[in-house]
Amino acid sequence: MTRYVIVGAGAIGGMIGGRLAEAGIATAWVARGEHGRALADRGVTLLTPEGAVHAEAPVWLDPGQADLRADDVLIVATKTQDLAETLPVWADLPVTLPDGSSAPAGEVLPVFLATNGVAAEGLAARWFARVFGVCVWCPAVNLEPGVIVVRMAGTSAVLHASRVPAALATDADRDLLAALRADFAAAHIDVPLPADVMPWKHGKLISNLANVVQAVLGPGVDAADVIEAAAAEGRAVMAAAGVDVVEESVEEAVRAAGPRVAPVPGAEGALGGSTWQSLVKGRPSLESDFLNGEIVALAHGAGTAAPVNAALARVGRRAARSGLRPGDLTPDDLRAEVARG
Alpha helices in the chain (DSSP H): 11-22, 33-42, 83-91, 105-108, 120-124, 171-186, 198-208, 211-217, 224-241, 250-257, 274-281, 292-301, 307-322, 331-340
CATH 1.10.1040.10 assigned to 201-245+270-340: yes
- With beta carbons less than 8 A apart as the criterion, state whether 280 and 272 touch: yes
Q: pLDDT of 300-331, one tens digit each?
A: 999 999 999 999 999 999 999 999 999 999 99
- With beta carbons less than 8 A apart as the criterion, state whether 264 and 270 touch: yes
Is pLDDT of 258 > 90?
no
Distances (CA, A) of 163 to 35, 57, 156, 313: 31, 27, 23, 29
- With beta carbons less than 8 A apart as the criterion, state whether 267 and 47 touch: yes
Mean per-residue pLDDT for 234-240? 97
- With beta carbons less than 8 A apart as the criterion, state whether 190 and 172 touch: no
Q: Where in the chain is the domain with CATH 1.10.1040.10?
A: 201-245+270-340
Q: Give the Cβ contact number of residue 70 at 10 Å.
A: 13
Is pLDDT of 242 > 90?
yes
Q: pLDDT of 160-214, one tens digit each?
A: 999 999 999 999 999 999 999 999 999 999 999 999 999 999 999 999 999 999 9
SS3 321: helix
Confidence class for position 43, pLDDT limits 50, 70, 90: very high
Write down the pLDDT at residue 253. 67
Write down the pLDDT at residue 171. 98
Q: Where in the chain is the domain with CATH 3.40.50.720?
A: 3-196
Q: pLDDT of 99-118, one tens digit each?
A: 999 999 999 999 999 999 99
Q: Give the Cβ contact number of residue 219 at 10 Å.
A: 14
Distances (CA, A) of 316 to 3, 175, 209: 36, 40, 11
Which CATH number applies to 3-196? 3.40.50.720
What pairing do the DSSP bridges indicate for beta strands 131-137 and 157-163? antiparallel
Write down the pLDDT at residue 334. 96
Q: pLDDT of 17-40, one tens digit each?
A: 999 999 999 999 999 999 999 999
